[in-house]
Structure 1
Amino acid sequence: MEWGRKGKDDKQIADIDDLLASDKCDVLMVTPNTTAALTPAVERACEELPVIVFSRGVATECPVTFITPIGGYAFGAQAARFVVDALPDGGNVLALRISPGVDVLETRWSAAERIFAENDNINVIGSEFTNDDRAIAKSIVEDYLQRFGKIDAVWMDAGATSAAAIEAFEDIGAEIPVFTGEDQQDFLKKWKEEGLTAIAPTYPTFQWRTAIIAAEMILKGEDVPGPIWYLPQPTITNENLDEFLQADMPPQHYALCGCQDMEGYPENWGEEAN
C-alpha cells in the first residue's frame, strides 16, 4: 500500500513539473495525494503562477487559496460521537482508514481516536488501512469477525468502501452494526433499505467546482477568498437521508457533487449514461 501511494505521489509531482516546463499553464489547481510529498512541488509552482489547492492540503501557505470544508476534525469527531452515543453500554469498534499521510484523513482519525479514548467502555479492536479497496475492506471485516466474534460499530474515515464492509456482515448472516460512511449512493441506499443505525459526515465533492470558480476569478483579476476558502460541510442523518438519496445515480456517485444545476444533470450522469 505504501508503494502504491508513493507511485501516485511521484506521478503527481512529475505532472506538475511537466506543466510548469510546458509554459502553457496560467493557473494550477491541485488536490495533493499526500501532504508532505507534494509540498515542494507546490512551492515550485507558486514561484511561477497562481496555485489553488483543494480538498487535501499542503504544508505551505504559498497557494492563493486552499479550498476546503470546515475540516477533518469535525468529520472524525462527529462520526465518533455518533458511535459513542449509539453504544451507551460500550462495545467493540473497528476503525477502517484509507491510507496514512493524508492531512484530512489523519485529522479525522486523531479526533475520533481521542473521543474513543475518553470513553472507557469503548474498545477499539483495530485500526486498519484499506487503501480505498473494496475487497481489502471486506476481508478486514471478515478477519475481525472471526477473531472477535462481534463488532458493535464500524467507524470509517471515508465512505467509498462502506457498502463493501456491510456486505461482510451480510455474507455470514451477522447483524449489521452501527456504521459511519459518506454520501456515496451505495451506502445511502443500503442505509435506507436496511434501516441502519448510521451517520454520514461529508467532505463535499463540490470542492472541485469551487476550484474552477476560483481559477476563473483569478484569470479575471478578481480577489479570491484566502488563504483558506472554507465551504459548508453538511451531515447526512436518518432525518434528512431521503434528501440525498438519488436512485438513478451510480453507486459511487456523491450526493454533494454540486452538479444539480449543471447542464445535462441528471440524464447524462445516471446509470444508463455510465
Structure 2
Amino acid sequence: MTKRWALVAVAGVLAVAGCSSDLPEESSGSGTPSSDTRKSEFFDQAEYDRQLAFRNATPQGPEGRPWEQMLEPQMVDTAKFAKPGGGYTLCFSNAAVDNPWRQVGFKTMQEEVKLHPEITDFVVLDAEAKDDKQISDIQSLTGRKCSAIIISPNTTATLTPAVEQACATGVPVIVFDRGVNTDCPVTFIHPIGGFAFGANGAEFLKERVKPGGKILALRILPGVDVLEQRWAAANEIFGGTELDVVGVEFTDGDAAKTKSIVADYIQREGKIDGVWMDAGATAVAAVEAFQDAGVDVPAIVGEDQQDFLRIWVDEGLNAVAPTYPTYQWRTPVIAAVKILKGEQVPKEWVLPQPRITGDTVREYVKQDMPPLHYAMCGCEGMPGYPGPWK
C-alpha cells in the first residue's frame, strides 16, 4: 500500500487552534445527525482497515517502553546522517503548547533530552498554533547549525512545503504527532491514528447502548485531519447500527460550551443514552451536565486526563478512554539520536495506542497529579518524576 503521510496524530486534547488553512470546503454543521451516512472526505477505507488491524498487532521493541516500540516497521538506513562523537544541536519546531496535552508532552520531551548526553543544545521554537509563524520558524532553523530538526506541524497541507525545504538542506528531519503530505522526512512518528481512536469509542457505545438509543457526538473543531478521522470512523460504525445519533456538535474544546450543549440535548431529547467525543478534555463538563440535570450519566467516551479518570472511578461511570498517548513526545528525541549515530529507524514509526477500560482505569489514576495531567505520559520512571509535571 502507498502510505500518505498525513495527520494521524493529536490528541488527548490536541492543539486545534489555528487550523483554518486546512479546513475542508464544507464541514458538517452543528446539530447534524450522522444518520445520513455520508462518508467524510477524510474517510479512507484502506487506512481505516489498516489502523483497526494495528490495534491487535504485536509491537516490536522493549517490554514496558511503548515509546520505543513499533508496529510492523520498515527500517531505513541512516548511515549518511551519522555524526560520531555527539555534541548534537537538536532543533524542534513545535506547533504549540496551548493546551494541557501538548504541555504534558513537551515537558516529557524536555526530560527525555536530559537523558541523552550526546545532545548539548536543544533549540525550540513555538509556532503558537500559527501556520505562518511555523513556516518562518522552520526557515530559521534551517539557517542554524542544527544536527537534526524535529517538526510537529500545526497543520498538514500548509506546512508541507516548509518541511520539504527543510529536508532539502540535507539535515535529517523527523516529523511526529501530526503529519505532512510528503515522505521526505527520515521518519514519521505517531500512534496508530485517528480512525483507531474514533472506532474504539464508537465500538464501546455500540456494545453498551441498546438499539434505538440516542447518541450525542461532541467534536472540537472541523478540518483537523486527526479529529476528522476520529469522527469518520465513528460515523462509519454508527451507520452500521440501530443507534440514533441525534446530534453532532462542536464544542471548541470549551467546558462551559460543552456543558450547555449537553444540557440542551437532555432537555430537547428527554434522554441521552451515550456520548461520543473526539477528544476528552471536556468530558468532565459533559458528565457534570447530566449530574446537574439530575439524570444518570450514560455510557461516555472520554480520554486519559486525570480529572476524567477520577470521576470515572468515583462515580462508577460506564466509560472508555481511547488515548493519544503523550509518551510519543519521547520518541522523536530517541529517533534523532539513533539517526545521528547512523542506526536504522522505521520510515513510519507507528507506536502502540492503548485504551483505558473499566477493568484497567484504577491503574492509571494518580491522585497526586494535576487534573489535566495525561496518564499515558510514559514519564513515571523518568528522573525527578513527578516534580516537572506538576
TM over 0.5: yes
Give, as a single letter, the amino acid of the residue that structure 1 aligns with 2:191: P
* Aligned equivalent of 2:353: 233
C-alpha contact 2:210 2:243 (8 A) present in aligned 1 = no
- Output one character per residue of 1:73-98: Cα deviation in whole Å (capped at 9) or x when no partner: 11111110110111123311111122
2:311 to 190, 205, 214: 190
* Aligned equivalent of 2:85: none
- Rounded to whole Å, the distance in 1 between the matches of 2:275 and 2:315 is 16
Distance 1:263 1:157, change over 3 A: same
1:99 aligns with 2:221: yes
2:380 to 235, 240, 260: 260
C-alpha contact 1:35 1:58 (8 A) present in aligned 2 = yes
C-alpha contact 1:177 1:197 (8 A) present in aligned 2 = yes
* Aligned equivalent of 1:71: 193
Where 1:256 maps in the other structure, the secondary structure is: helix
- Rounded to whole Å, the distance in 2 between the matches of 1:103 and 1:269 is 28
- Rounded to whole Å, the distance in 1 between the matches of 2:285 and 2:308 is 9
Larger relative contact order (Cα-Cα within 8 Å, sequence gap ≥ 6): 2
Structure 1: gaps spanning 5 or more residues? none
Greater helix proportion: 1
Which range is displaced more, 128-137 or 68-77?
128-137
- Output one character per residue of 1:165-184: Cα deviation in whole Å (capped at 9) or x when no partner: 21222222222111111110
Query: How many percent identity over aligned positions?
Result: 61
2:320 to 179, 199, 216: 199
* Aligned equivalent of 2:164: 43
- Rounded to whole Å, the distance in 2 between the matches of 1:117 and 1:183 is 27
* Aligned equivalent of 1:5: 19
Which range is displaced more, 147-156 or 131-140?
131-140
- Rounded to whole Å, the distance in 1 between the matches of 2:337 and 2:138 is 20
1:137 to 258, 261, 277: 258
* Aligned equivalent of 1:148: 269
- Output one character per residue of 1:82-122: Cα deviation in whole Å (capped at 9) or x when no partner: 10111123311111122222222221111110110111x21
Where 2:234 maps in the other structure, the secondary structure is: helix
Where 2:343 maps in the other structure, the secondary structure is: coil
1:109 aligns with 2:231: yes
* Aligned equivalent of 1:242: 362
- Output one character per residue of 1:183-217: Cα deviation in whole Å (capped at 9) or x when no partner: 10011001001101000111111110011111121
C-alpha displacement of 1:34: 2.0
Structure 2: gaps spanning 5 or more residues? 1-15, 21-128
Distance 1:164 1:25, change over 3 A: farther
Distance 1:81 1:267, change over 3 A: same
Which range is displaced more, 190-199 or 143-152?
143-152
C-alpha contact 1:57 1:103 (8 A) present in aligned 2 = no
Moved over 4 A (4+): none
Q: RMSD in angstroms over aligned alpha carbons?
A: 1.8
C-alpha contact 1:34 1:101 (8 A) present in aligned 2 = no
Where 2:188 maps in the other structure, the secondary structure is: strand
C-alpha contact 2:19 2:224 (8 A) present in aligned 1 = no
Equivalences, count: 266
